Amino acid sequence: MRFFGPDDAARLAAFERRFFPHPWTEEQFRASLGGSHFLCCGMTRGGRLAAYLSATLVAGELEILNIAVLPEHRRQGLARRLLGHVLHLARETGMTDAFLEVRASNVPALALYAGFGFREQGRRGAYYPDNREDALVLRLTCGETGGETGGTEGKNRQGAAMSMKFLDEMDISGKRILLRVDYNVPLDGGRITDDLRIRASLPTVRYALDKGASLVMCSHLGKAKGKPDPKFSLAPAAARLSELLGRPVAMASDCVGPEVEKMVAALKPGQVLMLENLRFHDGEEKNDPDFAKAMAAYGDLFVNDAFGTAHRPHASMVGFPKYAKAACAGFLLKREWEYLGQAMENPARPFVAVSGGAKVSSKLGVLKNLLSKVDRMVIGGAMANTFVAALGFGVGVSLVEPDLYEEARNILALAKERRVSIYLPVDFAVSLDAGRPLAEMKPAGVFPYQNIPPEGMILDIGPTSARLFAQVLAPAKTVVWNGPMGAFENPDFAEGSLSIARALADLEAVTVVGGGDTDVVVHKAGLADRMTFISTGGGASMEFLEGKELPAFKALKEC
């Protein structure tokens, strides 16, 4: 995604001529792009402009002028990403309202705008000169997050969010910032195999450095159990961050102590210091006050941007903000709050939840909370086995939780009471290789749920279930997906999960993905850029979806 300037005028005018009967001229683009109240952004594919959006920002109002996507790149979520980015920018810059006009017959566009919470404000008769069609005038209050209002609990949560301070509200020029990130990245022999969490922190890091701050960065990595362990060193993360930033990142040998204090004191504006793994000290997980005070003293400001550990009552989540001179949330933490909060409390409807993963026991709270929010629910993964077995059908030697059969039946009854449709798989991909490592298990065929072989192990949903679930998702305007549909680590049993990813990618809806390795599935499918938002939190996402207040958010609101 990029923003355009006057030099792009000819390119944009040519692009508009492909779509509109009365396109802007090159001169109009050049004059507008040279002003401060006009913005135009776009996305390329293969070096070629594939989609663009133009808008004006005047007197506190955003007006969307045009959105266009090349036919071969439609239904890939490009318009949704552009609009989401511009609306986020509008909120960040204090815009109060957003407006646009759309043809009354443009159903895909109306679905897209409804997904963001636009509501019809009026109608302009015979507005479009080519066919005298009416235009609908849509409006969105920028403080809202889309969809219908979600009741008292949602209002309270949004109100609580407003009491939190955010990085872009703080004066950070020349300040030293203690920045908590989540660099708990996977390593293979000291090599980072997935740098998603490091990349996710870059907006906060770059913003702080561009504003003339210095950064003292801290994180955990792995389960170090309160003592140094070289295999959990953050040195590879510091090196990767340095590559991404294009500037040096100094690496400390510890996170507390005299030598660290000297390195912190020597930092100059624009410099970055990475502290060693917080969990090399048991004070982190125990929320030891002395540990928290020592760390908090490193900065003029503490910024928490580690959503992945926001559900942990650790020192860096609750102790640092308590003892810091000032504290706020970084951009990643803010985005997680906004997108998950929007999905749960202010969803555009129909709202569909897709729940997968291994165990019902780990998601009981999530399922029950979602039933008070959603219109439909899809249940897959090994947790579906427990529901199928609870209904009296055999599941062979598949993973089940017999002690939760009654809970599963209660959830189905609760869904009926709340008029929420629950969809379970109707067929399964089964292996007869139970007892072997997953990588060695082979498919024995697809079986309907009534006829699972006694020696069979369910490892994925079947093709009929995949088609059914795609049909359930088709009308959705908001989707939250948590947990894969099967044992996707084995390619023979990945199709069910990949089918859900493809179905979501084709929707003109707000799609929020996170938890239970769901993000891994989406990246494996090559569809990450076609989701509205991918959460970086596993357990944190789960607890948020369960309706719990996360300790990190609570601490930031109280400081």
By annotation, the residues acting in catalysis are 197, 359, 516, 539
How far is 24 from 555, CA to CA, in rounded Å?
51
Question: Three-state SS string across 248-289, please?
Answer: CCEECCCCCCHHHHHHHHCCCCCCEEECCCHHHCHHHHHCCH
Contact indicator for 138, 102 with CB cutoff of 8 Å: yes
Q: How many CB atoms lie within 10 A of CB 207?
A: 15
Residues 6+ apart with CB under 8 A from 233: 221, 276, 277
Q: How far is CA 382 from the centre of its chain?
A: 24
Handedness of CA 114, 120, 121, 124 (dihedral sign): positive
How far is 466 from 473, CA to CA, in rounded Å?
11
How far is 20 from 48, CA to CA, in rounded Å?
19
In which residue are the tokens 């060695």 written? 440
- Whether the bond between 258 and the residue before it is cis, its omega within 30 degrees of 0, is no
Contact indicator for 48, 60 with CB cutoff of 8 Å: no
Pairing of strands 97-103, 61-69: parallel
How far is 519 from 526, CA to CA, in rounded Å?
11
Q: How far is CA 210 from CA 56, 245, 266, 410, in A?
A: 26, 11, 19, 54
Residue 132, helix vs strand vs coil: coil
- What secondary structure letter does DSSP report for 451? G
444 φ/ψ sector (left φ>0, alpha ψ -120 to 50, else beta):
alpha
The enclosing H or E element of 103 equals strand 97-103
